[in-house]
Structure 1
Amino acid sequence: MPTETAPQAPPPRPVGEGRPALTLLVVLLGMFTLPMAMSGTTVALPRIGSDLDASGAALQWVVVGYFLAASSFMLVAGSLGDIFGRRRVLTAGAALYSAGTLASAAAHHILLLDAARLLSGVGAAGVMASGGSLLAATFTGPARTRVFAALGTTAGVGLAIGPTFSGWLVDGLGWRTTFLAFAAAGALILTGTRFLTESRADAPPRVDKAGAATFIGGLSLTLFAITQGSKSGWTAGSTLLPLAVGLALLTAFVRVEKRLAATGGQPILDLSLARHPAFLGWSLGSFGLGAGTTGILVFLPTYLQGTSGTSAREAGLVLLLMTVPVLALPPAGARLVNRGVPARHLLVLSLLLIAAGNAWLTTLHPGISTAALAGPLLTVGVGQGLSLGIIDAQALGMVEPAKVGMASGFLNTVRGGTGAVMLTLFGALLLALVESRVGSAELAGRVTAGTGGHADRFTEAWRITLWAVAGFTTGLAVLVHRLLRPRTRRRTPVPEATHTVPGATTSAEAVTARSR
Structure 2
Amino acid sequence: MRPQSPPSAVPPATAERPHPGRTLTLAAVLLAVFVVPMSISGTAVALPRIGAGTHAGLAPLQWVVNAFNVAFACFTLVWGSVADVVGRVRAFAAGVALYALGSLASAVATDVLWLDAARALTGVGGAAIFSCGAAILSTVFEGPARAKAFALFGTVAGVGVAIGPSLAGALVQGLDWRWVFAVHAAALAVVLLALPAISRAVPAGRGGGRIDLPGSALFVLAMVLLTTAIVQGSQWGWGSAGVLGLFLGAALVLAVFAAVERRSAHPLLDLGVLRDRRFLGLCLVPVAASFGFVTVLTYLPSYLTAVTGRGTGTTGLLMLLLTAPVLVLPLLAARLVSRGVAARTLILLSLACLVAGDLALTLLSPSVTVLLLAAPMLVTGAGMGLSAGLVDGQALALVDPAKAGMAAGFLNTLRLGSEAVAVAVYGSALATVLGTRIADGIGAHPGADRAGEVADRAAGGDLAGATELSGATDHRAFTDFLGQAYDSAFHSVLWGLAAVGAVLSVVIAVLLRDGGRRRQAGA
Which category of TM-score, normalised to the shorter sequence, fits these structures? 0.7 to 0.9
1:447–1:202 distance in 2 versus 1, CA, 3 Å: closer
CA contact (8 A) 2:322 2:381 kept: yes
User: Which residue number corresponds to residue 358 of structure 2?
Assistant: 358
Task: Verify the 8 A CA contact 2:37 2:160 in the aligned structure 1.
Answer: yes
Q: Kindly report the root-mean-square deviation, in angstroms, between the aligned alpha carbons of the 2 structures.
A: 3.3
What corresponds to 1:258 in structure 2?
262
Q: Deviation digits for residues 41-60 of structure 1, max 9, x if unmatched? A: 34444554565565554444
Q: Would you say 1:77 and 2:79 are equivalent positions?
A: yes
Matches within 5 A, 1:55-454: 55=57, 57-134=59-136, 150-196=152-198, 198=202, 204-260=208-264, 265-400=265-400, 402-439=402-439, 440-448=451-459, 449=461, 451=463, 452-454=479-481
Check conservation: 1:96, 1:122, Cα contact below 8 A.
yes
How far apart, CA to CA, are the structure 2 residues paired with 1:453 and 1:201? 63
**Cα separation, 2, equivalents of 1:438 and 1:52:** 23
What secondary structure sits across from 2:30 in the alignment?
helix
Q: Which residue of 1 aligns with 2:508?
A: 480
What is the deviation of 1:340?
Answer: 2.7
Deviation at 1:326, TM superposition (A): 1.5
Q: Distance in 2 between matches of 1:125 and 1:160?
A: 20
Alpha-carbon distance in 1 for matches of 2:192, 2:408: 20
| Cross-structure match for 1:467 | 495
8 Å CA contact 2:170, 2:316 repeated in 1: no
> How far is 1:175 from its partner?
3.1
Matched to 1:155, the amino acid is A
Structure 1 pair 102–309 and aligned structure 2 pair: CA distance change class (3 A) = closer
Shift of 1:122: 0.9
Using the alignment, how far apart are the partners of 1:437 and 1:94 within structure 2?
Answer: 44
- 246-255 or 335-344, which deviates more: 335-344
CA contact (8 A) 2:45 2:298 kept: no
Do 1:76 and 1:406's aligned partners in 2 also have CA atoms closer than 8 Å?
no
Task: Rate the CA distance shift 1:12–1:428 in 2: closer, same or farther, 3 A.
Answer: same
Any idea what the Cα deviations from partners look like across 1:152-178, whole Å, max 9, x if unmatched? 443343234323312322333333332
| Deviates further, 384-393 or 39-48 | 39-48
Structure 2: 5+ residue runs without aligned partners?
Answer: 1-11, 440-450, 464-478
Given that 1:279 and 1:398 are in contact with CA atoms closer than 8 Å, whether structure 2 keeps it comes out as yes
Unaligned runs of 5+ in 1: 1-10, 493-508, 510-516
Q: How far did 1:372 drift? A: 0.9
Shifted more, 104-113 versus 477-486: the winner is: 104-113
How far is 1:352 from its partner? 0.8
Q: Is the 8 A contact 1:157 1:327 kept in 2?
A: yes
Q: 1:15, 1:477 → 2: CA distance?
A: 44
TM, length-normalised to structure 2:
0.81
Identity of aligned residues (%): 42
2: CA distance, partners of 1:131 / 1:15 = 22
Q: Write the deviation string for residues 427-447 of structure 1: whole angstroms up to 9, x where unpaired.
A: 222222233333243443354
Aligned to 1:6: none
User: What is the distance in 2 between the residues matched to 1:489 and 1:397?
Assistant: 14
Q: Against the structure 1 CA distance between its residues 207 and 381, is the aligned structure 2 distance closer, same or farther, given a 3 Å change threshold?
A: same
TM-score (norm 1): 0.82
